[in-house]
């Protein structure tokens, strides 16, 4: 068995998903600006030339990380919403917990912090993330809120403001876990945090005659 200090042997046949996994790890660890393509190739056990066979530059690599890891989760939540019947608040819970399971508990949880930190320096990437992730996720949240208001389960709320209030605590948890708390394994317990967040949402969204324990 190789020692921990032994460099990983380079393989010319490194697959794109290995390069994407290495890129994600380095983007989260170092940020977008400090991540070098040669470091991504080395982390994946490939040559820099191999990386260029699949990705033209670092921007293309970053976009591929988002397209392969985050956008499919949004699409999955869209399917959940389209097939859901019954309680609107139950739908809200399913969307939040599925997102947390597929993003919040994975390396992708570091992407929101990266975007907040570097969006101003890389406006084209910020615009890509806004159009592909934020707008699509907000459209889904709007759909869930409108569903609850139409059914009479939710109070009438300002949609944009309500979405900000629903999303912001979850994003802030991720940012803190990847900054002040020193890593995603530190900080508040996510299960307790999300349960409390949903309890507070229930009292803010549900009409008095519809309030239930969550």
Expressed in angstroms, the distance from the first to the final Cα of the chain is 49
Q: Which residues pair with 154 in a beta bridge?
A: 206
Query: Which residue range forms the structural domain that includes residue 41?
Result: 16-65
Q: 115 lies in a domain?
A: yes
Decide if 179 contacts 113 (C-beta within 8 A). yes
Q: 10 lies in a domain?
A: no
**Token pair belonging to 25:** 């790890």
127 and 37 within one domain: no
Q: Helix 16-30 crosses helix 37-44 at what angle (to 10 degrees)?
A: 120
- Whether 41 has a pLDDT exceeding 70, the answer reads yes
**Token pair belonging to 28:** 């989260």
- Whether 4 has a pLDDT exceeding 50, the answer reads no
- Whether 59 has a pLDDT exceeding 50, the answer reads yes
Give this prediction's pTM: 0.85
Q: 3 lies in a domain?
A: no
Q: Name the 3-class secondary structure at 22.
A: helix
SS3 string, 47-83, reads CHHHHHHHCCCHHHHHHHHHHHHCHHHHHHHHHHHHH
189 and 117 within one domain: yes
């Amino acid at each position: 068995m190789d020692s921990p200090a032994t460099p990983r042997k380079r393989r010319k046949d490194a697959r794109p998903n290995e390069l994407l996994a290495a890129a994600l790890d380095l983007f989260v660890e170092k940020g977008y600006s400090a991540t070098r393509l040669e470091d991504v190739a080395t982390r994946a056990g490939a040559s820099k030339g191999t990386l260029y066979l699949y990705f033209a530059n670092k921007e293309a690599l970053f976009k591929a990380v988002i397209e392969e890891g985050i956008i499919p989760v949004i699409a999955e939540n869209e399917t959940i919403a389209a097939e859901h019947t019954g309680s609107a608040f139950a739908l809200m819970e399913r969307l939040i917990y599925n997102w947390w399971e597929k993003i919040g508990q994975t390396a992708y949880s570091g992407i929101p912090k990266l975007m907040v930190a570097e969006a101003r320096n890389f406006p084209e990437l910020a615009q890509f993330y806004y159009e592909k992730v934020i707008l699509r996720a907000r459209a889904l949240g709007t759909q869930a809120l409108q569903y609850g208001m139409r059914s009479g389960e939710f109070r009438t709320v300002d949609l944009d403001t309500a979405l900000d209030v629903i999303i912001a605590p979850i994003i802030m948890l991720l940012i803190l876990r990847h900054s002040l708390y020193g890593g995603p394994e530190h900080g508040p317990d996510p299960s307790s945090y999300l349960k409390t967040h949903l309890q507070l949402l229930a009292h803010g969204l549900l009409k008095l005659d519809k309030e239930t324990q969550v």
